[in-house]
Amino acid sequence: GGLNAFELGDDGMIYGPLVFGKRIVRIDPDTGAMTTVSDELEDPGALKLDFKGSAYALNNDVELRKIDLKTGKSVIFATLPAGADNLALDAAGNIFVSLSATNAIVEVNAETAAIRYVVEPAPLTSASGLSVQTQDGKDTVYLGDLWGGVKQIDGTTGAMQKHEVTVFQPA
């Protein structure tokens, strides 16, 4: 099922998301027995425990969900910027989330769910393929950014925007 970014609970069990199984599970490391904790997530990512009976899990690239480990019920705790990849909790319960699409880190306040950038977004994540188009003496650079999509860059000023790409699909 694609166990991802899991954590060992104080009960000795492994808690984590099954990325392809669309659920949060508890695994007994001694027997391998797996039980579903919650099936309310559509696209679960990383999971961390608060050690107070709840877990926080990423869902659908932008949701931070709080899950009651006893009932399996989940609520959207915060809506994140796109690209949520992994998370960690500090001693006060604040949640730090890495954003792979922008090379940024946000902190989510444990009490208010307010979001602040700890590391501001970077313009590129993983620059790869490159092409230049010159029209009327002006260069436009097209860059394939592995996690950030295709970027269109003004060759003179460096101004950048995300370029929408239409994928050809035969009829």
pTM of the model as a whole: 0.81
Structure tokens belonging to residue 90: 């500090």
Q: What gap in Å lies between CA 44 and CA 47, rounded to an integer?
A: 8
Indicate if the pLDDT at residue 1 is higher than 90: no
The end-to-end CA distance of the chain, in Å, is 34
* Helix, strand and coil in the chain, % to nearest 5: 0, 55, 45
Q: What is the pLDDT of residue 148?
A: 78
Are residues 113 and 107 in contact, defined by beta-carbon separation less than 8 angstroms? no
Tell which residue, 48, 52, 13, has the closest CA to residue 64.
Answer: 48
Confidence of residue 171 (pLDDT cuts 50, 70, 90): low
